[in-house]
Structure 1
């Protein structure tokens, strides 16, 4: 499907998503995070399914009586400040598809992680779903009702959220480059444009040095040297704020503007571009919700997703949306699309091999301890896969043109394994798309350099003048040097880079819904146009000890 360019505008940050057959563009950026409850001790636990033993991800754990809470990690883990254990409170645990239950904090320990088993809720298959409004609704009609009711189900007046933000990467199931922050969100309501009108207070920010720091993996995306690229997609470094770009991926909050591929403007574009199927009804916070499968296939990309919609109010409780790139199929386009639909509707049988490009999970729920029936952000998680092309172990450090000798001098980082075997056929030099003939190769062991003597008699006169001009700059030229079978003593091939695929996460978890904070000086508001880690970011001065904390994960995922 060919889609035209679409744009959103923030105060000074311009985001443009350009589409083509071979690539997707989704918005995402940078890194950051933090901790406020004292690092003296935490109660730790892990939620698992009582039937399967699998971790229960993104469950809400609320401290009864305090209107505070955290969200479980991807391995079901969580932590609570130990100070709450002495206050005799309990955890109220709720998760979509599970029974809501309580667990006493006295059952948690600061020394060992406690496993809590929670029971799945009953799941009614779509054949037994009770018809709504005296008539059976199709899945598409349910989705349409949900989109039409966004203004009535979500807050249109201003409100605040305080939450835990983090971004990190996963390398072989270990967290690296973990940044953490506590942030207050000042949202003017769903009738306003989030990128422009929402402001933030940064309570604290830190790079967690207890986790591995990989500076090469943490660098911005680079589509010139291809050091770091998103697979089959492009993530431009706009120079804006990573939290703002995370929030752009919330298609529900940004229902009137473009969000990400292929949801775009959800109230306008979502239904025409996707197929839906009602899979059944499950429970969330003791309320019945529709579970609707989402699917789509276009130009080698396909979507697998879920929508969870309240059966009575049609409020969108949760949206899961994953985009994949099909890597191989032996079927026709129609059969491939049928396979994709079967996968999205719960049929695991598929001959379409695919790789994840990105995944977005966003959930909303009511304010705890309040009669307010509006739905507020509970969490948003954005994950994408990216590829690192790490520097070659055996490489050219510098290339110098000797104008007097009319030769190229190549500086290597380590000596070649067998310099005596080098010959002019080992190297290929191209300049402005034409081959540069080499007359001889000389290795200098003292300087660890190779001298490539140019056969000027076989080189075009114009190219000789350009190549050896005093104004010629090697770094910006069209000069390309490659070598055949040239290795160092460790067996590394010259210029061969190590390729590594990692997963990037950016997440925000609400801990408390709070009143909108009026009268905040502009100087204390987070600068949305610079990264969170920028030293120019203001830290909001809280009075007294904060009651909020960071749900820092364990270094390695279970």
Structure 2
């Protein structure tokens, strides 16, 4: 257990890259042919089982205090040759670009590379005789043997946050150890499966806004085209629910449901390129929803990467789109990696789009009637109005169901106007200054300086992210009692999304640089 304690401090320092370090190694991983950044590459500390995951932009940092203990980095990513980086050769505090060489074969390529092992060539040859569906079927039915059926634990870095108007809010982060009693148990509800926090807090370098972190409801925070219902868990348990590989025989989310049943029935599959990781052939199978499965407003695309050696699933990417054809309603990215004889989670990211309706609307704050010398209604707003939108025709006044004609509109100050009435109505003589009894006052199409239309809540599109990056796998299923804090933090919100388009269920359980929403 002493090893876990030491590892905790190493991980904490490695992932404190969210806060600027005085002296650090900074690396960005790119494709050697296209120069595109390689997202979520695995960075192992050679000679150990420890490591980290590069971020969405292919970047990672290591504090200088850790470099002496990490002389060589081994970088791997599906579809690329492994790359070794000697840390002593990297200049500190300068972003260093390293490039990985693609290792991909097209499906119709003739394999004549003498460096390719005979057994690898045989795997590829045999795969060409198989349909895409058959490969996926074998992979799903091999999960029980490819994943560990004994107790083990993951220790890694977890965070959740929201992005609204390209700005990050409410970043919670921590070092979390997850305990898994094996693939034959229920990951979410099994009594032997839990999580321990060795560090968890809100990062003060990022702005907080409670409105963005509240639970989903039907008015203030919601997902378009979906109904939100509560789910018994926090953000981490919601993230775990949305791992269809670990929960291959359990209900997960639309339109996967159970990976070993409905996923196979609900999608069309086609073979794509063959990639390699450590010279092991990995075939990419692309899929989309069957047209009869979803309504016209929903579309599903994704890919699953499967080893041709043992049919182990190495990665799974799932996107559900609605009316917004560029930004998905939600997407999930999962990667597993081989260690010894089993596959273990490497990382999982999950994000869903949501709509925020700001209840702080533009409206009138006070309306009074002056019935002495000049007869007018004085209207005071709660925000500076846009004077260009002020027209007397946009105000309607009725007294006892009879319309009161407005003669003129006069601006008093940036928030106050006067509406002078056309004719003095004797019925109004009994109205006191601060009373609006029997007065019906209607305003429409008036905006404030911020562009908010009166009474209309401003709707903003946001994105909720949840991410977990594994740093090391342990065989023990016993947490350190001195550090253990069961993951039941109330600030971790919960949600389940159910589609409006029939009986579909969206159970919506993601490095902090501005990313393009894909």
TM-score range with shorter-chain normalisation? 0.7 to 0.9
Identify which range, 207-216 or 311-320, moves more after superposition.
207-216
* C-alpha RMSD of the superposition: 4.1
Query: Paired residue for 1:146, among 139, 148, 153?
Result: 139
Show the counterpart of 1:16: none
State the match for 2:333 in structure 1.
361
Match of 1:84 in 2: 66
Aligned counterparts of 2:379 and 2:233: Cα–Cα separation in 1: 39
CA contact (8 A) 2:124 2:308 kept: no
Q: Which residue of 1 aligns with 2:43?
A: 61
Distance 1:132 1:490 in 2: 63
2:295 corresponds to 1:299? yes
* Aligned-pair CA distance for 1:490: 6.8
Unaligned runs of 5+ in 1: 1-33, 328-352, 401-407, 430-434, 458-466, 470-479, 535-551
Q: Which residue of 2 aligns with 1:515?
A: 475
- Which whole-Å deviations, capped at 9, do the CAs of 1:411-452 have from their partners, x for residues lacking one? 731365679x776962499xxxxx97765899998996999x
Q: Distance in 2 between matches of 1:67 and 1:116?
A: 22
Structure label with greater radius of gyration = 2
- Displacement of 1:396 in angstroms is 4.4
Q: 1:169 Cα deviation (Å)?
A: 3.0
**Aligned equivalents of 2:513, 2:204: Cα separation in 1:** 11
* Alpha-carbon shift at residue 523 of structure 1 (Å): 10
Deviates more, 1:121-130 or 1:107-116: 121-130
State whether residues 43 and 80 of structure 1, in contact with CA within 8 Å, keep that contact through their aligned partners in structure 2. yes
Partner of 1:196, secondary structure, is coil
Is contact 1:377–1:510 with CA below 8 Å preserved after alignment? Answer: yes
Deviation string, structure 1 residues 249-278 (Cα, Å, up to 9, x no partner): 100111121111100111111111100001
TM-score (norm 2): 0.74
Q: What is residue 162 of structure 1 aligned with on the other side? A: 155
The equivalent of 1:494 in structure 2 is 454
Q: 1:68 to 1:88 in 2, by over 3 A?
A: closer
Please tell me whether residue 312 in structure 1 is matched to residue 309 in structure 2: yes
For residue 483 of structure 1, report the CA deviation from its aligned partner.
Answer: 2.1
Q: Give the 5 Å matches for 1:168-247.
A: 168-171=161-164, 173-197=166-190, 198-224=193-219, 227-238=220-231, 240-247=233-240
* 1:379 corresponds to 2:375: no
**Which of 394, 410, 433 does residue 362 from structure 2 map onto?**
394
Moved more, 384-393 or 525-534: 525-534
Tell me the equivalent position of 1:249: 242
Q: Is contact 2:284–2:304 with CA below 8 Å preserved after alignment?
A: yes
Counterpart-to-counterpart distance in 1, 2:164 and 2:89: 33
Q: 1:376 to 1:492 in 2, by over 3 A?
A: closer
| Aligned-partner Cα distance in 1 for 2:269–2:323 | 20
- Kindly report which structure 2 residues correspond to 1:109-124, keeping only aligned pairs within 5 A, or say none: 109-124=91-106
Say if 1:125 and 1:281, in contact at 8 Å, map to a contact too: yes
1:244 offset after TM fit, Å? 0.2
| Counterpart position of 1:280 | 273
For residues 534-549 of structure 1, the aligned pairs below 5 Å read none
Cα distance between partner residues in 1 of 2:55 and 2:139: 28
SS at match of 1:125: coil
| 1:177 Cα deviation after fit | 3.0
User: Separation in 2 of the partners of 1:395 and 1:158?
Assistant: 59
Instruction: Tell me how far apart the structure 2 counterparts of residues 321 and 68 of structure 1 sit (CA, whole Å).
Output: 28
After the TM superposition, which of the residue ranges 292-301 and 117-126 deviates more from structure 2? 117-126
Q: Are the equivalent residues in 2 in contact too, given 1:131–1:137 (CA < 8 A)?
A: no
With the length of structure 1 as denominator, give the TM-score of the two structures: 0.69
